[in-house]
A and B are shown apart, each in its own frame.
Chain A
Amino acid sequence: MKKFIGVYDDDVKLLNGIDRMNEDHVKVDDVVTPFVIEELFEKLHIHSNIQFLAFVYGVLAVIGTLAGLVYTFVIDYPLNIGGKPSFSLVFVILLFVLMVLTVVVLTTLTFFHQERLYPMKELPFEYPGMHVDKFVVVVPDDAKEKAESIFRETGAIDMKEIEVKA
């Protein structure tokens, strides 16, 4: 798939460029940066559902663990340990620890799944320095003309058409 990219060597210029793109209603497909730039999330309305999913995993983990504990320790094989109740407060400790284990593992897997990350995965495209000090803005090829003038005006150091693998 053909895309058009503009490359900045400064994050302030990048943010200006993105502002201009928003003003001129140029669709930004993606931005590749060497570190997190939180302002971009607001400017380009980027959200993720990982925190919500983590909460769901947590609730399910608590319910599942509690069910397991009650089944093993209260229903299936209650042990009389000094007359203490089988259904006891110690479950809270186990619920917490097992909830953390479940949420941590599932959240990590969710991140890897949503990003389709796997060993030796080929990158959709590469630009020298995009993980070091370059900021790459990707726009659709049909917005090339508008984007080109914005890139030029806001100080992009390079712009070109590239082939992005699906």
Chain B
Amino acid sequence: MYKKSVRGELILGNKSYTQITEDILRHQESESKWYSAPKWWWAAFIFFFILLAIGLGYYVPLTIAKGIGMWGNNNQNAWGWAIINFVWWIGIGHAGTAFSIFLLVLRQKWRTSINRAAEAMTIFAVMAAGLFPAIHVGRPWDEFFIFPYGPNSRGLWVNWDSPLLWDVLAITTYLTTSFLFWYMGMLPDFATIRERSTGIKKKIFSALSFGFMGRLKAWRRFEDAVIILGGLAAPLVISVHSIVSTDFSVSVLPGWHETIFPPFFVVGAIFSGFAMVLTLMIIIRKVYKLHEYVTDDHLDAIARIIIFVSLIMGSAYLIELFIAWYSSNIYEGYIFNESYLTGDYAVPYWAMFIFNAIVPQFFWFKKVRRNLTWLFIISIIINIGMWLERYNIVIPPTAQDFLPANWGEYSPTIVDIGIYLGTIGLFGVGVLLFMRYLPIMAMNELKQQAKRQTETTVEASVYDIFEKKLVK
């Protein structure tokens, strides 16, 4: 439960409801034209758009036209950068909804300033993730085979026992749920923008808000629907990444065939996602000067969660090493205790270990948690560390499996790198458009929070008066 004394004030500056609206919409309403934006925005947009154009405009069509042979994948490494990036992006995509929903279910009121941006991040990250399996199948035009619409035309039903099929269904469900949860949450804010705008902008937001009006019955239904969506999405977050982990763990490869994978993947996803939320919120707070809404206490709270999750990550790494040694399985032992610790993959392994399990421990120090620069640097380091973790999961076990005569080496091609950069471009462009055109914070929830805060302050002063009288 939220306690003022523990968390501090969640909205600083004793804001009125009008001020909250104006502060959140200031960057939109101060622009005279629909295409006008600050210089930093255009610079960032052009940069990410170029990445997007190169990756999705050139390398993806090239892959589709010429095939997966354009990638670094080979006989040994049937899965390469595509799957690393898929798992990395889906992990980042998890925290948005996890952040929003787990904190909603746990009644953590400090989510109100951050949930909208985190949910937006989810949408673009899951879109980036979804691209990889879509092109990895090699013949995207046959993808409709995954849908079970009857065996007569194709000879077979789909194989319901395959985790790859579960993955398609889980990610489709996750994207749909995250999008609807995000969009539903924005309806009241679209109504606010509709009311404050004129001309074509008013028409656009009239369409986007679907005529939502804050009627009593509408709010009641809205609250009920949102809690249902949130309540279902919370276990979905856990199930989706568990399913992603079964893509690996149901195989017999050393390094993949582990029962720890589902919780390990879920925690890893939340870890990388929270780091990305931290990165994004620091940027939003800085460029839009929203330090009264994203306070030091908010960032402090995220950093504390990251320490906790980092400790779980560190324990999981150690358990993997221990089980590989304790099981006396030579193949498992080779991957973990030789290849990772001192062998060919020691550099990415130790980098991962240090980035994910050691560096976040700096957050034990309040000075680090309260320093924006350190917070930003560590959040980036964690994201790199989590990418390396996926590299360590995907590459070494496939490159060095049971038969040394088969061992191969993996290196990505320019097409792999180009597509990865393209997804970073997609994510960047998406987030920038969101920041420019949509309400970056849930205004209606902030107002509710401001109301709650006033009540808490009043209750606290009444309590103080009574306490003083009692003491006397």
Chain A interfacial positions (CB closer than 8 Å to B): 11, 30-38, 40-41, 44, 46-48, 50-51, 54, 68-69, 72-73, 76-77, 79, 81, 84, 88, 90-91, 93-94, 96-98, 100-101, 103-105, 107-108, 110-112, 114-124, 126, 128-133
Contacts and interface: CB of A to CB of B under 8 A. Distances in A.
Nearest to A124: B213
Contact of A93 (B21, B192, B210, B243): B243
B221 interface: yes
Q: Which of A34, A116, A120, A129 has the most CB of B within 10 A?
A: A34
Please classify how large the interface on chain B is, using the bins under 10, 10 to 19, 20 to 34, 35 or more.
35 or more
Contact of B218 (A51, A97, A103, A115): A115
Nearest to B227: A51
15 contacts: A31-B215, A36-B219, A48-B220, A73-B157, A77-B151, A79-B161, A81-B159, A93-B239, A100-B233, A117-B211, A121-B210, A130-B195, A131-B213, A131-B214, A132-B21
B201 to A, nearest CB: 14
Contacts of B367: none
Across chains A and B, which 9 residue pairs bring their CB atoms closest together, nearest first?
A121-B211, A133-B17, A117-B210, A119-B207, A50-B224, A101-B173, A35-B444, A111-B225, A72-B157
A22 to B, nearest CB: 14
Given A31-B216, A100-B177, A132-B18, A120 B211 contact: yes
A120 B211 CA distance: 6
B232 interface: yes
Given A31-B216, A79-B159, A124-B213, 4 more contacts: A111-B222, A126-B195, A132-B192, A133-B17
B347 interface: no
Interface of B: 16-18, 21, 148, 151, 156-161, 166, 169-170, 172-173, 176-177, 180, 184, 187-188, 191-192, 194-196, 203, 206-208, 210-225, 227-229, 232-233, 235-236, 239, 243, 444-445, 447-448, 451
Contact of B161 (A30, A44, A46, A84): A84
Given A41-B220, A72-B157, A133-B18, A36 B180 contact: no
B113 to A, nearest CB: 15
